[in-house]
Structure 1
Amino acid sequence: MKKFKFQILFALVALLFASCTNDDPKPEYPSLKGDFVVCEGGFNKNNGAISFYSAEVSDNNIFKSVNGRDLGDVVTDFEVVDTLGFIVVNNSQKVELVRMRDFKSVETIDDQQLTYPRFVKQATKSTVYISNGSMDGEVLIYDFKKFELVGKIAVGQGPEMMVKIADKMYVANSGGWGADNTISVIDINTSKVVSTIEVGFGTTVLKADAENNLWAFSRGAYDANWQLSDAKIYKISTKTDAVVNSFAIPATLATFGTNLLAVSPKGYVYYISDAVYKMDIDAEVLPTEKWLDQALYGIEVNPDYNTVYGMDANNNKVLLMNEADASVLSSYSSTSNYPNSVYFNN
């Protein structure tokens, strides 16, 4: 009798386990270690996407492949925080959360506070910051364990990319549809703006180098003919939160991209204007020789491999280039529309 009861109990446990397994199937992909390419898509086209590439997988729209639906309109950022992937969908006014073991959607943040979300960055062990707003800007604070809005911080107009260094979060204020030429510095312990750094107009990019200097790319202001002029690069000490050098870009920007600067662990800065240029982080003047004679839409450096990734939005392609001489090592062809950046999940 005892043996019979044990067999029944074992069968029930097995049935329960099987039921759980059916509700939570094995991931479609062997691993989500690889390169996540953020593809904006066309404005009002609802075709923004994340393209994923690894040694085993090539998928130009992994969110749709896994979840059976489109992400939305204008994807601007992807960031992995803890076990979750955060996908910012600007013109759909939402942030999609996926679990990083299979890319299944687990939550959509689309409350009325998200009027113009741009970028996301982890602030503390339980919170993320989301830059938000095209005019009067703010940083929204979300508890990502509870999926709740827990605070907001007023910053400059049109906040864009953010960089966290130690206990400070740096926020690029691009001006959005207005005008701004500042970087807001937030103390993440108090959620207060503790200083403001003056840079150029239209600052969209912030990147940190290995010495914790902050690099900002200011695209400048539009003139009467809708041409960007007065683009500049700034090197900022995060010890003093002061500009230590600025570089006026002589060429007119030949791209509408916003992710126009990248920094490598080897101590080089790559930036885009009429072409791609490369300079040392200790340089005092801009280079005159082109590193790559092509105006890309965005640029990144894989920190583990020192490989430069160039986003070619005209051909929906990503070039993987040797960091020394720009020779093409390989490429990701046929990404989704308008690739602008890469998240390296190494």
Structure 2
Amino acid sequence: DIPNCRYIAFDKGYAYVSAYVGPVGIDPNAQLGAVFQVDTATLEITAEVTVGYQPDELVIQDGLIYVANSGGYRKPNYDNTVSVIDIETMTQIRKIPVGINLHRIRADKYGKLWVSSRGDYEKIPSRLFVLEKDKRTNRMEVRDTLNVSCSEMDICGDSLYLYSVEWSNISQENNVTYGIIDVRTGELISNSFIKDGTETDIEIPYGLKVNPETGDVYVTDAKNYVSSGNLHCYGRDGIRKWSVRTGDIPAHMAFLYKNK
């Protein structure tokens, strides 16, 4: 019953789902999106709040939901805000101007939020934004804009691992990059977490996850989007440990730990 749903986050027995709400397709009059609250015990929708245009990823922190609004269906009039929802009342309390065509959002252990922008695929490039609480107002504001493209990211300790598959409407090509950022300083400490040259085996990176216990980095490859993909595992040293064939367009991963 949630139309055109996108991403999901969990908190205290509830799932929170972002949704474009409207039909799929470019439309200058595309409607605002929403976040739905779902009781995980009954699977019933218990609340709904309207947010920005075409909301994508969301993260929960300190009783608030932060939602990255893309406005992708309203191209070229993209949204550029992060919606802030009070989780207790399920109301949108403000919007934070960040950057156009937002997508990913992550929280680090220092309370900062990392938000990625896809750009407009022509003149405005993909960028990574850092949001931090203003000490005077105690509200999240943009603290920094990093000159780094980002399609997917995962944080492990003080390191933010990322890759970018940045499409250009001008060159009609993808530019694929990798990197590691120190979340304490915001510095790019490595321009690739792959050190053995095997990144050339990855056609279209489409998923990224870091094992918090071992530090192993997992990258999926969607290849041509219509044939079976691959999953690659890299050690902390950036050397590939193994690869395995997957189904079509492998995107997301989770770790399941078994008691010994």
Report the TM range for the smaller structure's normalisation: 0.7 to 0.9
Larger radius of gyration: 1
Structure-to-structure mapping, 1:253-332, within 5 angstroms: 258=151, 260-265=152-157, 267-273=158-164, 274-286=176-188, 289-292=191-194, 294=199, 296-314=205-223, 316-323=229-236, 325-331=237-243
Match of 1:154 among 50, 62, 66: 50
CA distance in 2, matches of 1:291, 1:302: 14
State the Cα distance separating 1:166 from its structure 2 match. Answer: 2.4
Shift of residue 115 of structure 1? 1.9
Distance in 2, matches of 1:128 and 1:288, equals: 35
2-structure distance, mates of 1:193, 1:290: 38
Q: Check whether the contact 1:262–1:270 (CA below 8 A) recurs between aligned residues.
A: yes
**CA distance 1:222–1:289, change in 2 (3 Å):** closer
- Count of matched residue positions in the alignment of Structure 1 and Structure 2: 219
Q: Is residue 123–residue 169 contact of structure 1 (8 Å, CA) maintained in 2?
A: no
Contact 1:200–1:231 (Cα < 8 Å) also in 2: no
Aligned to 1:124: 12
Whether contact under 8 Å (1:124, 1:188) holds in the other structure is: no
**Cα offset for 1:289?**
3.5
Q: Once the two structures are aligned, what percentage of the paired residues are identical?
A: 26
String of CA shifts for 1:188-237, please: whole Å, max 9, x gaps: 111112222222222211112122211111111133xxxx8421101112
State the Cα RMSD in Å: 2.3
Paired with 2:52 and 2:255, the residues of 1 have a C-alpha distance of: 29
Which residue of 2 is the match for residue 23 of structure 1?
none
In terms of fraction of residues, the more strand-rich structure is 2
Gaps of 5+ in 2: 23-29, 165-175
Aligned partners of 2:71 and 2:35: how far apart in 1?
14
Q: CA deviation at 1:286?
A: 3.8
Structure 2 residue aligned with 1:344, among 232, 255, 259?
255
1:335 lines up with 2:217 in the alignment:
no
Instruction: Evaluate the alpha carbon distance shift between residue 201 and residue 298 of structure 1 in structure 2; reply closer, same or farther with a 3 A threshold.
Output: farther
- Paired residues of 2:181 and 2:190 also in contact (CA < 8 A): no
Farther off after superposition, 300-309 or 210-219:
300-309
**Which string of whole-angstrom CA distances, capped at 9 and with x for unpartnered residues, describes residues 64-121 of structure 1?**
xxxxxxxxxxxxxxxxxxxxxxxxxxxxxxxxxxxxxxxxxxxxxxx2xx22101122
- Tell me whether 1:138 sits opposite 2:34 in the alignment: yes
The 2-side partners of 1:147 and 1:203 are apart by: 29
Amino acid at match of 1:204: H
Shift of 1:277: 0.8
| Alignment partner, residue 25 of structure 2 | none
Q: Higher relative CO (CA 8 A, sep ≥ 6), structure 1 or 2?
A: 1
**Shift of the alpha carbon at 1:285?**
4.4
Whichever residue aligns with residue 270 of structure 1, its letter is Y
Q: Deviations for 1:141-189, whole angstroms, at most 9, x for unmatched residues?
A: 2222222222210111111111111211111112231211111111111
Distance, in Å, in 2 between the alignment partners of 1:218 and 1:344 is: 27
Q: Counterparts of 1:344 and 1:197 in 2: how far apart (Å)?
A: 33
Deviations for 1:247-272, whole angstroms, at most 9, x for unmatched residues?
123x7x8xxxx5x112112x011221
